[in-house]
Structure formats: C-alpha cells, structure tokens
Amino acid sequence: MQLYLVRHGIAIDREDPKCPAEAERHLTEEGIKKTREVARGIASFVEKPNLFFTSPYVRAAQTADLFAAAMKYPKQKIRKTNLLLPGSEAAGFFRELARNKDAESVFCFGHAPHLDELISLALGCKHDATALKKAGVACLELRRIAPATATLVWLATPKLLKKLSR
C-alpha cells in the first residue's frame, strides 16, 4: 500500500484575536492558495488514490477537499477519523487502516507532530525522523499495515510540490 501523509495547510494563527476554537481553526487565504498549488503538483505525478482519510478538524478537512478537487476524488467519499487528531494513538490509526488493506493508495490529512509520529512508527524509529512542513507530503510504502512496517519512498516540501504545479 502507498500511504501519503499530508500535513494541513497554513491555518489561522492561535494568537489571532479572531481565532476560533482549536477544532474550528481554518486555512487562511494564503493557506488555501498554497495548498491548492501543492495539490496540483501532487496530482501531476500521483495516480488517483483509492481512499482519503482526514482528521475532523476544519483545517485538515479543508486540505483534504483541496486535494480531492485536484485529484478528482469525490469529496463525499472522504472519511473522517479521530485517529488522525493530534495526540491520538499512532498504532490505532494503522489498525483502522488495516481494515482497508485492499486499497493500493491512501491519502491521509492531519497535524504535526502526529503525522511525524505515524511515519516514525512505520519506519521503526524511536524518535521522530521527519518534521513535515504545512502542506508537506510524505509517501510511505507499507509492507505490513498493522503493526506497521514501511519504507519512506519520498518526503516533499510544499515549495518543491508547488513548482510541479506550474
């Protein structure tokens, strides 16, 4: 299984007086623009995935929607899971993912440092091996889903992926 882990785009700052509750923090105009470009870049070389999973937090769901539009994935099929929320158990996410073992390609949208913890667990690292940027993407080849065993195929910054969209 190809597993793509995508950190949400640039969201409204927690210090902004207009900032809503954590679960409702949304992408900024700049975040939407940059994430849309990253999604187009990914769509230029990644085939349409079988599944999309997202954290239920607004900023992650918005990021998933932008990727779905770029990759022609039906937005109504995006699945929300609390196992992509910050602080959730990494191994629990892989157990849920194992229920979809026939999927060849899965995109997941979430938050730092949780996505970095998922990567580290799958790679067998005791400490975080990555630090995804906002709208950054990691691609893992899962040899086993649960317990997770993977190879990091690539890790790309938003800046690199945006260049592919041009």
| Model pLDDT for residues 52-65, shown as the tens digit of each residue | 999 999 999 999 99
Q: Give the E-state strand segments of 16-66 in sequence order.
A: 51-54
In single-letter form, the type of residue at position 139 comes to C
The pLDDT of residue 56: 98
Instruction: Provide the token pair at 82.
Output: 């609390």
Query: β-pairing, 51-54 with 105-110?
Result: parallel
Pairing of strands 105-110, 137-144: unpaired
The pLDDT assigned to 12 comes to 97
Residues whose CB is less than 8 angstroms from the CB of residue 18 and which lie 6 or more positions away in sequence, other chains included: 12
CATH at 93: 3.40.50.1240
Angle at 40 between CA 36 and CA 45, to 5 degrees: 150
Band (pLDDT 50/70/90 cuts) for residue 82 is very high
- Average model confidence (pLDDT) for the chain? 96
Confidence (pLDDT) at 103: 95
Strands of the 137-144 sheet, one edge to the other: 79-80, 51-54, 105-110, 2-7, 137-144, 149-156
Tokens describing residue 26:
């949304």
Q: What tokens appear for 68 in the block?
A: 């779905």
- Domain hosting residue 124, numbered range: 2-164
Over the stretch 6-38, which tens digit does the pLDDT of each residue have?
A: 999 999 999 999 999 999 999 999 999 999 999
pLDDT tier for residue 87 given thresholds of 50, 70 and 90: very high
Whole-number pLDDT of residue 121: 96
Q: What is the pLDDT of residue 164?
A: 87
Read off φ and ψ for residue 97, nearest 5 degrees: -60, -35
Distance CA 76, CA 59 (A): 17
Quote the number of domains for the chain: 1
139: helix, strand or coil: strand
Give this prediction's pTM. Answer: 0.97
Q: For residue 161, count other CB atoms closer than 10 A to its CB.
A: 22
Residue 128's pLDDT is 87
